[in-house]
Amino acid sequence: MARGAPLPDLLETIGGRTVAPALGGAALVALAGAVAVLATAGWARRVVGALLAITGLAAAFAAARLIAGPTDGRARELIADRTSGVGIGGDFAVDVSAHTAWPVAAAALGLVIALAGLMVAVRGPGWSAMSARYEAPAGGGAAPAQPAESGPQSDLALWTALDRGDDPTRSAPGGR
């Protein structure tokens, strides 16, 4: 920013976190959503996917607005917030230079998050849940019958029973 003599020109570097604070929040929501996709199943996973899609679209929109750099009015606001205002007149000239690579990358990643969220919302409920393999089989009822042999079972037989979904720690009906 050019100021009149005897004041030197004011050069202020403002980072992306200051210009678009919503992008950092969107990144945290996307990270939490990725964990939530793994931890949920059914309709809850569909809701998480929809939230991820909305978050990705919002991040892409916020980043796309920064590709051309902040407007002169927004740059004036940011400079006024960061400086004390001493020596800055009401009509100071602002020269904005912006790096376009980061907003383009952030917009592209926002679209990737939105597409991933859409895929989770559409196909996610059919995916297996995080701990479904280790839960007791549906139907409950009586415990499975133990093998007829009365001696100790081999380790392989116990692991095979676990793979089938049987609980070898339950006693057989009429057993111990």
Domain extent listing, the chain: 16-126
Average pLDDT value over all residues in the chain: 78
pLDDT, tens only, 68-120? 777 777 777 777 777 666 555 566 666 777 778 888 999 999 999 999 999 99
Tokens matching residue 151: 């001696």
Tokens matching residue 105: 């990358």
The pTM of the whole model exceeds 0.75: no
Q: What is the mean pLDDT of residues 18-28?
A: 86
pLDDT, tens only, 116-159? 999 999 998 888 877 655 566 665 555 555 554 544 567 788 88
| Gyration radius from the chain CA atoms | 30
Query: Which amino acid type is present at position 145?
Result: A
Number of residues assigned to the chain: 176
